[in-house]
Structure 1
Amino acid sequence: MSVSTSPAGERTRPGGLDSFFHISERGSTIGREVRGGLVTFFAMAYILVVNASVLSAGAPSTISPAAIAAGTALVAGIMTILMGVVANFPMGLAAGMGLNAIVAFTLANPDAMGLTYAEAMGLIFWEGVAITVLVLTGFRGAVFRAVPAELKTAISVGIGLFICFVGLINAGIVRPGGTYVQLGINGSLSGWPMLVFIVGLIIVIVLYMRNVQGAILIGIAAATVIAVIIQALAKLGVQGTNEAGEAVNVTGWATNAPALDGSPIQLPDFATLGHIDFFGAFEKLGPVAVILIVFSLMLADFFDTMGTMVAVGAGAHLLDERGNPPRTREVLLIDSLAAVAGGLGGVSSNTSYVESTSGVAEGARTGLASIVTGAMFILSIFIAPLVELVPAEAASISLIFVGFLMMMNVADIDWRNPLHAVPCFLTIAMMPFAYSITAGIGFGFIAFVITRVAAGKARDVKTLMWIVSALFVIYFCLGPIEALLA
């Protein structure tokens, strides 16, 4: 059996892995793919805790947070493995943040739309079906190819700032305060968890500057060990709020206390699987309202994935001269089916995760990394206590550092040409400031059309860009439209 090697001398072909995943062709190795897959998993693992926390607000009493976490891990694992096998793309999938909040606090909220949890999952299912049809008809891929290269670059940069902002928030470095956001607690960095984050980030930076492979994973692991020691000695607890809504234990851990308590293995509860009502929402809300809801869910999912795919492809150097990643159709198809699977699994729409860029920064270039990530999600069904051991302060390190790496692409934008600069700036700025990848893409698309028309170059705008920009205008005005229809 022949064994190919990378420039660094690492083996890349045990069995047929190299030929199937094109590992050496993409300049990677087995070791890098495994490390990248692990880093992506640890950057995404927070969703197991967070999705359970969010959805439990709208779930019936018969479904526990543990069951939601198990279902989340199962669906994420299966769909991420499919992404690796079918699309050969280093991108993880899991329950989408934002869409899960819509399920819990709007769709399944008795004080809002008043649907049951199962009926809300029915809408998620139909959203997935709709977006899958758009992929199979070629419309979704055509929209992606119609986006100009400079906007794709801006999307990648904007996502870099977005995930950096998310990381800073998760680590507690940036918080709400007297101003819209502030540094730490009342303008200072206080508490052991912040120290864990800072030390871990310094470790990653130092290792990166020394060209050490596995810098991000080593940094996360080191920060986790430090966090476990601190928790064992100080018993910090988790941040929270009291009955008056006031923040308590502000110097505690953000989401989970890294304590070595109890058994690291537990049997899963899959109560969410199949907890779905396909047509209940149609009977309660009527077809027009359901169509509007599905449209809004679909539009957010549609463009979030497009931005994530560009960001991952750019980081992995997989984009062609037009800014398109390989096997675009397969990537979009698996992502669309993930939304369907999320509804059927009762854990909300699953979508591509921009945290995958963390694994790409660690060297992931192929679907083998996705298989590693997916396998870790499957394993986490049984070892949830070990997954929860990694605090948000440690996992956030990868988001900050990857944000820096993605920011490098900003040099590829022609800032002297306002035709490029204006839409690119709005794309980049709106993602972190509106806390929405979709909002950034929407503002960029609309600005692209406006600048071309203003410059007398309306003919340069492709038909699909006109259509999608018009859809974004509708999307941004959904509130008034729904009020009129109501």
Structure 2
Amino acid sequence: MTQSSVEPRTTAEDAGPGSRVPAGRSWLDRYFHISERGSTVAREVRGGITTFMAMAYILLLNPLILNGKDVAGNVLSQPGLITATAFAAAATTLLMGFVGKVPLALAAGLSVSGVLASQVVPQMTWPQAMAMCVMYGVVICLLVVTGLRELIMNSIPLALKHGITMGIGLFIALIGLVKAGFVGKGSEFGPPVTLGAGGELAGWPVLIFCLTLLLIFMLQARAIPGAILIGIVVGTVVAVAVHSIAGLDAKAWNMSPPELSRGAVSMPDFSLFGHVEFGGWGEVGAITVGFIVFTLVLAGFFDAMATIIGVGTEAKLADERGRMPGLSKALFIDGAGGAIGGVSGGSGQTVFVESATGVGEGARTGLASVVTGLFFAACLFFTPLTAIVPPQVASAALVVIGAMMMQNAKHVDWGDRSVAIPVFLTVVLMPFTYSITPGVAAGVISYVAIKAAQGKAREVGGFMWALTAIFIVFFALNPIEGWLGVH
């Protein structure tokens, strides 16, 4: 492994121009190397709180995404999901703070949760799906230990990295629009998707979604810290008032209605912890299981990769090519988050782009992550309060995050067809297929093919050719399973 660039650097230059590392520092300063990185305890605490405020919505959105039935018709407990989401986020973020010592916070990856809900549980049970998270986490850890993960990060063209980020953003936004009822399924002889149910918007819940979405965008335009969380709180208050005055039933909200009768504090519900089942995949098939793990690796891998690049750039850790040499500890903890989330029952954990909000407030060390992790731990005792938020309000945050991830479009040279076409296919196929892997696969294959057509096959690199072969197999999985007699 190369020396990690996220390890504390002890030169005066790292502490800022003309600054000096003070003598007689506290143990906190020495452990997190706060002075060496030109920060203060106050900045780290403020940065950690800001990061938590920016990503606390995950306590609402992850249970929303994972509220579907598995192949056996079972549904996960909502209080259990909220507890699992909070616990896994707290555990992994604290680990990143104390061990990784960098201002990166982790929580349930929306792309991973989206894959579980849309592609995995229609084929297997929830405990088996959580086992998939453990397996993909172990795979990513092995990639880190062998140095392959950093090699892969540096081998994929930067334009494709930005395309993957944008595609995941559109995929997440579409999930939010569908969950809110703003987009609905079309009829057999009509368009595949429609505006709302039957081609029109109707009902208070959809209106509240629209108002919440606009409010968050307006707050972000004013650069208000914690805009997403503020929007969710305001939207929930409005939903509670509307529900009370209009007398709507639970069916109108697609979940339990927003009511204050449940109280605010309760003991954590660890009913989902440890519900992991390895095996029993006979009906699914070994090849399909392998590709499910591969899909989850891609979802967690590229989501985290794009996030680390973005936050690292904000903290001046990444170079102009998007490379961050020696991120071994941070990458390993990110990979371990898959296994921790699977065992907890709350989906695989990954680094969140909202960590950049804390960096923007001055956070430079792991102390900020410790503060964020402690806030998530405190949320374990406020499950009823978070359960009040209706899905239409929480879904607005999904659309906002999707919009934020589309900002990567400014880094793409749209005049270069060898770049623009692969990025376009990567971006559009993720939401259009309701899956992440087809977008990545189409982007990689088209990039290699176009470069070969231009006589630049050697510029592609051996890894990209190998990945192209793997993705060709992915697209041809159905006939291959038929030839092998595997179903």
Q: TM-score, normalised by structure 1?
A: 0.78
Residues 1:221 and 1:430: Cα distance change in structure 2 (over 3 Å): same
Please give the residue correspondences for 1:349-428 in structure 2 after superposition, counting only pairs within 5 Å.
349-352=347-350, 356-357=352-353, 360=356, 363=360, 370-371=369-370, 374-428=373-427
Q: Residue type of the partner of 2:46? A: G
The aligned residue for residue 194 of structure 2 is 182
CA–CA separation in structure 2 for the residues paired with 1:268 and 1:57? 26
| RMSD over equivalenced CA pairs, Å | 3.6
What does the per-residue CA deviation read over 1:243-289, in whole Å, with 9 as the maximum and x for residues that have no partner?
xxxxxxxxx224442211223223334344334455x548x689xx5
Q: How far is the alpha carbon of 1:460 from its aligned partner?
A: 0.4
* Whole-Å separation in 1 of the counterparts to 2:70 and 2:268: 17
Q: Distance in 1 between matches of 2:250 and 2:368?
A: 32
Determine helix, strand or coil for the equivalent of 1:93: strand
1:204 maps onto 2:244 in alignment: no
Measure the CA separation in 2 of the matches of 1:120 and 1:212.
38
Return the offset for 1:312: 2.6
Question: Closer, same or farther in 2 for the Cα pair 1:203/1:65, shift >3 Å?
Answer: closer
Deviation readout 1:82-105 (Å, 9 max, x if unpaired): 234444253433273223565543
Would the alpha carbon gap of residues 152 and 390 (structure 1) be closer, same or farther in structure 2, given more than 3 Å must change? same
Q: Which residue of 2 aligns with 1:264?
A: 264
Contact 1:427/1:443 (8 A) holds in 2? yes
169, 187, 191: which one aligns with 2:203: 191
Q: Which moved more, 1:188-197 or 1:303-312?
A: 303-312
Cα drift, residue 121 of structure 1: 5.1
Aligned to 1:131: 140
Unaligned runs of 5+ in 1: 6-12, 109-116, 240-251
- Give the match for residue 231 of structure 1: 243
Code of the residue aligned with 2:148 in structure 1: it is F
**Alignment deviations for residues 139-187 of structure 1 (CA, whole Å, 9 cap, x no partner):** 1221111011111122222233222222222322222134212222333
Q: What is the CA distance between 1:225 and its match in structure 2?
A: 1.3
SS state at 2:108 partner: strand
Choose which of 75, 80, 84 in structure 1 pairs with 2:88.
Answer: 75
Q: How high is the sequence identity, in percent, across the aligned residues?
A: 33
Deviation at 1:420, TM superposition (A): 1.0
> Which one of the candidate residues 43, 46, 49 is aligned to 1:31?
46
Tell me how far 1:395 sits from its aligned partner.
2.4
In the alignment, the residues of structure 2 paired with residue 231 and residue 468 of structure 1 have an alpha-carbon distance, to the nearest angstrom, of 51
Q: Give the match for residue 47 of structure 1.
A: 62
1:285-364 to 2 correspondences below 5 Å: 289-290=285-286, 292-313=287-308, 315-316=310-311, 317-318=313-314, 319-325=318-324, 328-345=327-344, 347=345, 349-352=347-350, 356-357=352-353, 360=356, 363=360
Residue 107 of structure 2: which of 83, 86, 93 is its match? 93
Deviates further, 430-439 or 71-80: 71-80
> Deviations for 1:326-375, whole angstroms, at most 9, x for unmatched residues?
76433332232223234434x2751427xx34564685766566545544
Q: How many residues align?
A: 444
Q: Give, in whole Å, the separation in 1 of the partners of 2:291 and 2:38.
A: 38
Q: Which runs of 5+ in 2 are unaligned?
A: 1-14, 17-25
Matched to 1:195, the amino acid is L
2-side partners of 1:375 and 1:56: how far apart? 36
- The corresponding residue for 1:246 is none
Aligned in 2, Cα 1:405/1:99: closer, same or farther, shift over 3 Å? closer
Deviations 1:37-65, CA, capped at 9 Å, x for gaps? 223121453223543654695669xx966
1:218 maps to 2:236: no
Q: Match of 1:381, SS?
A: helix
Q: Deviations over 1:404-438 (max 9, x none)?
A: 33323313211121111111111111122122223
Structure 1 pair 275–223 and aligned structure 2 pair: CA distance change class (3 A)? closer
**CA offsets 1:298-339 (integer angstroms, 9 cap, x no match):** 321222223322443455444421213576433332232223
Q: How far does the alpha carbon of each residue in 1:205-240 deviate from its partner, in whole angstroms, 9 at most, with x for none? A: 33333343333332222112111211222232344x
Question: Following the alignment from structure 1 to structure 2, what is the Cα–Cα distance between the partners of residues 339 and 78?
Answer: 12
